[in-house]
Amino acid sequence: MSLWQRALKRLQAMSYDKLLAYGNAKGDRIYAERRTYRFRLNSLKSFVSLFLVGTVLSVALAACSGGTANNSSSETPSATPVAATKDNVELTLVSFAVTKAAHEAIIPKFVEQWKKDHNQTVVFKQSYGGSGSQTRAVIDGLEADVVHLALAGDTSKIEKAGLIQPGWEKEVPNNGIVSKSVAALVTRPGNPKGIKTWQDLSKDGIKLITADPKTSGVARWNFLALWNSVIKTGGDDAKATEFVTKVYKNVPLLTKDAREATDAFFKQGQGDALINYENEIILAEQKGEKLTAIIPDVNISIDNPIAVVDKNVDKHGTREVAEGFVKYLYTPEAQQEFAKLGFRPVDDTLTLSKEVADKFPKVKTLGTVADFGGWDGINKKFFADGAIFDQIQAKKK
């Protein structure tokens, strides 16, 4: 066997082993080229032979790649933000339904700022829906770069699916919470049924509209607000179960998400009362709706987290811009937009401002997720298959 034949055999063996390991012809060529430098070129004959071999091998590997010689790849893709070298970069935001108006106000401001700072145009793809449904969509393959969901429990599900790295809530301020609200009760004009407190929702003859906790993060907050109203006033789990069961017997239908619940109440005229985010009520008023709304003194802090989907941003090469967008959402400019559209800001300076204080009534007794053991405990106790919510629904049949 001649020198060039023996060299070809050695290089082919290395390349094919690496091809099986990476499945990426371009990356294999880099590996083969690096390994080739280890050969000692002891003679002009061996140099020429290896040069010819390298040429043949490069052509063969290019053929394996389908002729896409200009594709960019790396053995450590997370270390090379491919999108940062492009004039335009696409970012996919997946969020829960009621944030749509806020993001549509914030995104153009971020795009303008990013263009100014990085000379790069960011094009957003946006998806809005019930938080639970959005969570499942991301886990099932919707390639979100950033997720803004109704509750941290949904973000944790994406983490457990291997798409978000543990510790995501520590990567940004406020434990990952970027928007906040409280629960509100909305009644028909003039409040003909005299609904003033949570307890009134359990009375006979009251029809309540709310979303389904199985598909909507907002609806889980609604459920917790009802449960919390008993616990924070001295009741135990038995009394809370009894009360919440009575309330859900007064629910004629469970909508898929909070936006559908709002539409059912306002556009379709269903129900005597609606539980929804305070921010949804404010947004409806801004659109000209004349509402009678109550913010109960005993309430629940509705905290909405933001997170970068690590696996997807590394795949897309969008980590830098995704992290930049998340960081921007905590700026006073972005928080001001959240506040304008009814979300209680997480920025302390804004929270203490007269404008915000006048807009958002104080809540005397505010429950938190921590009061109920965190979302893992909440989901297991209330929303898992066969848990308290399913038991309550079964009693309605």
Handedness of CA 284, 285, 287, 290 (dihedral sign): positive
Contact partners, residue 198, CB within 8 Å, separation at least 6: 185, 225, 226, 229, 296, 298
Residue 96 DSSP label: E
Q: pLDDT tens, 154-213?
A: 999 999 999 999 999 999 999 999 999 999 999 999 999 999 999 999 999 999 999 999
Which residue bears the tokens 């549509």? 104
pLDDT at position 349 is 82
CA distance 173 to 175: 6
CA distance 192 to 173: 44
pLDDT at position 83 is 58
pLDDT at position 84 is 52
CA distance 193 to 273: 9
pLDDT at position 195 is 96
Q: pLDDT tens, 230-271?
A: 999 999 999 999 999 999 999 998 998 877 888 899 889 999
Q: pLDDT tens, 45-57?
A: 444 443 443 443 3
pLDDT at position 26 is 35
pTM value?
Answer: 0.73
Residues of the chain with pLDDT under 50: 2-82
CA distance 114 to 109: 9
